[in-house]
Amino acid sequence: MSQHAQEQEVAVRAPDYLTNIKGDLCELPPEYPVYYFFYGTLTAPATLQRIIDLSEEPKMRKAKLIGYALAKWGDYPALIDGKSEQEISGYAYIVQTGEEAQKLACYETNAYKEAHCLIYFVDSEKPTEIPGKTFVYAGDANALLEQRFDRKLWLHQMAGKLV
């Protein structure tokens, strides 16, 4: 079979392949409401309440992520890809609206980006796991692991938070 014929066959098969993937393999969380996993300062209910302007203390569930690691970004923890067996403990909260999500993103600054994840709950409530979102480090994870800290980059990434 010629290279062109092989490319056409792949192009024809690809959409069918994608539509036949089992839903739970690549299930994305709904837009809102959606659980967010927190591992740093946002695990403090009072902090989360203040950041997203809640009238009462948020109900958070003890949870973990698997396959991630934490590194230090200056004084802050930064979630990065880890080994498949690594676990990060934290808390999950149901973000109700895009406005709440935007407030969280502003709080996290440009140093972090939103990412899809699978949240595993470690309490006795249901569900025990659910697709959700978290904030991961947006910079060079290797630089963090090598403990290289770029103050100019830090100032740039924190600009939105310091204004």
Does residue 139 sit within a domain?
yes
Domain that holds residue 60: 34-159
What's this model's pTM, rounded to 2 decimal places?
Answer: 0.74
| Alpha-carbon gap, residue 74 to 93, rounded angstroms | 26
Answer whether 142's CB lies under 8 Å from 149's CB. no
Residue type, 119: I
pLDDT of residue 9: 46
Does residue 24 sit within a domain?
no
Tokens (6 digits) for 25 = 């393999």
Question: Residue 110: pLDDT band by 50, 70, 90 thresholds?
Answer: confident
Does residue 123 sit within a domain?
yes
Does residue 85 sit within a domain?
yes
Is the backbone of residue 13 left (phi > 0), alpha (psi -120 to 50) or beta? Answer: alpha
What's the average model confidence in pLDDT over 120-145?
A: 93
pLDDT of residue 36: 98
Does residue 10 sit within a domain?
no
- pLDDT tens digits for 61-81? 999 999 999 998 878 899 999
- CATH code at 95? 3.10.490.10
Does residue 82 sit within a domain?
yes
pLDDT-wise least confident of 17-21, 45-49, 127-131: 17-21
pLDDT of residue 147: 73
**Which is higher by pLDDT, 80 or 28?**
80
Structurally, how many domains does the chain consist of? 1
Question: Residue 1: pLDDT band by 50, 70, 90 thresholds?
Answer: low
Q: Is the peptide bond before 15 cis (omega within 30 degrees of 0)?
A: no
Tell me the pLDDT of the chain averaged across its residues. 82
- Residue indicated by tokens 């300062």: 41
Question: Residue 101: pLDDT band by 50, 70, 90 thresholds?
Answer: very high
Does residue 23 sit within a domain?
no
Does residue 21 sit within a domain?
no
pLDDT of residue 146: 78
